[in-house]
Structure 1
Amino acid sequence: MTTWFTADQHFGHARLLELSAARGAAFPTVAEMDARLVHNWNSVVQPDDTVWVLGDFDMHGKDASLTLVEQLNGTKILVSGNHDSCWAGVREGWKNRELYQSAGFVAVMDFAVTTLPPLRPQAPATRVLMSHFPYAGDSQDEDRYAQFRLRDEGIPLLHGHVHESFRERRTKKGTWHINVGVDWWDYAPVSADTLAQHLEDLRRGRVEPVDGS
């Protein structure tokens, strides 16, 4: 069994193809985008795997996009984002959590913590936080939703939200946060093993952080 991480599918979001040059170039229509995202997901995720979706699965919990949840392999957990109708920042959004769970997410939450697998025998696992939002940074000119962002206490953070703006950044305190959104990972989930190695390579300076802003 493998654990995967992903974010920012934006299923059903036709306007995104206009807002994002990369998405617009990759997908002529929103139907083709949705179909490719489903295909790419199922090409790597097996039925007995677990997938953490770090927000913005769709646009506001529409029936047409939520029906796609059942087409996706794996046990799916949602850490809600600002475009999910169950997000804590949406008025009475908590009432919509059942909508997402009925669609096929086994759990819906605002934040979570997990570990990435050790890279060597007897090495410790790496504790990471999960949120839709990075410690700092946005897909727009200024950081939005400050009240919903986690405080940097030195724990690496996996997130979405920023789309093509950056793949990873280091905070002023030196903490890495990594964008697991589909825009940086071939429009597919990325595995825990890949992220564990990627974080190690970042810490040791083996790879350079990629910033698209």
Structure 2
Amino acid sequence: MTNWYTADTHFGHENVIRFCDRPFKSSAHMDGVILENMWKVVEPEDDLWIIGDFAFGAPAKDAAYLQQIFDQLPGACKHLIVGNHDSDLTQSLGWSSVSLMAEVPDGPKKQRNTLCHYPMITWNHARREALQLFGHVHNNWRGSRNSINVGVDVWDFRPVTYDDVSRRARKLPVNKHWSDVEHRSELE
């Protein structure tokens, strides 16, 4: 079983194409590509974590549309970390879990990584190499050494694994405010 992470799919949202310079002709085209990319990697026994903003715009107010997209998600368990655009309707789709934040054991040391839609400056076990995975900022920021954007806009519209995130994290700079909140760190 593998955990797969993604954020800011914004299924059905026409304007996100323009706002984030996404390379799609329409929201239907975007939805299809994102779903296809998920199906290429997420196996039936895997868990899929959507770290906020599953859908948005007029289609996100249509229960039938939301259910149709949700039913196409791959994996054994589908989890939602609530983002600012995740309505009660989205939250009621039949997710395996719905929460504002979660700690998910993953990686070679099975440390509890923190998932939250919003980037954070520190979190539980941050000094013990636990990563924070977020979305919300789309293509504006990839993150820092230990807090990584898993949004589709910075990952070629596909979900990623802990190993993908960890490799990118090692190439990112230390957050310039890290020493303000965590005075001792193995990350520096």
Runs of 4+ with deviation above 3 angstroms: 151-154, 196-199
Question: Which SS does the other structure have where 1:178 is aligned?
Answer: strand
Distance 1:61 1:44, change over 3 A: farther
Q: What letter is aligned with 1:133?
A: Y
Structure 1 residue 52 corresponds to structure 2 residue 74: no
* TM-score calculated relative to the size of structure 1: 0.70
Contact 2:114 2:124 in 1 (8 A): no
Q: Distance in 2 between matches of 1:34 and 1:108?
A: 22
Contact 2:5 2:51 in 1 (8 A): yes
- Tell me which residue corresponds to 1:106: 96
- 1:3: how far off? 1.0
Question: Which SS does the other structure have where 1:188 is aligned?
Answer: coil
- 1:38: how far off? 0.8
- Tell me which residue corresponds to 1:43: 40
Distance 1:181 1:61, change over 3 A: farther
- 1:166: how far off? 1.2
Contact 1:133 1:161 in 2 (8 A): yes
Q: Distance in 1 between matches of 2:125 and 2:2?
A: 26
- 1:61: how far off? 4.9
Q: What percent identity do the matched residue pairs reach?
A: 36
Q: Distance in 2 between matches of 1:98 and 1:195?
A: 26
Structure 1 residue 163 corresponds to structure 2 residue 138: yes
- Tell me which residue corresponds to 2:25: 28
- Tell me which residue corresponds to 1:179: 149
Q: What letter is aligned with 2:103?
A: V
Contact 2:20 2:153 in 1 (8 A): no
Structure 1 residue 128 corresponds to structure 2 residue 113: yes
Question: Which SS does the other structure have where 1:186 is aligned?
Answer: coil
Q: Distance in 2 between matches of 1:116 and 1:107?
A: 17
Contact 2:143 2:149 in 1 (8 A): yes
Contact 1:79 1:130 in 2 (8 A): yes
Structure 1 residues 137-166: Cα deviation after superposition (integer angstroms, max 9, x where no partner):
xxxxxxxxxxxxxx5456231110000011
Q: What letter is aligned with 2:97?
A: A
Structure 2 unmatched runs, 5+: 174-188
Structure 1 residues 39-78: Cα deviation after superposition (integer angstroms, max 9, x where no partner):
1110111111101110000014532133111112102100
Structure 1 residue 15 corresponds to structure 2 residue 5: no
Structure 1 unmatched runs, 5+: 87-95, 119-123, 137-150, 171-175
* TM-score calculated relative to the size of structure 2: 0.79
- Tell me which residue corresponds to 2:67: 66
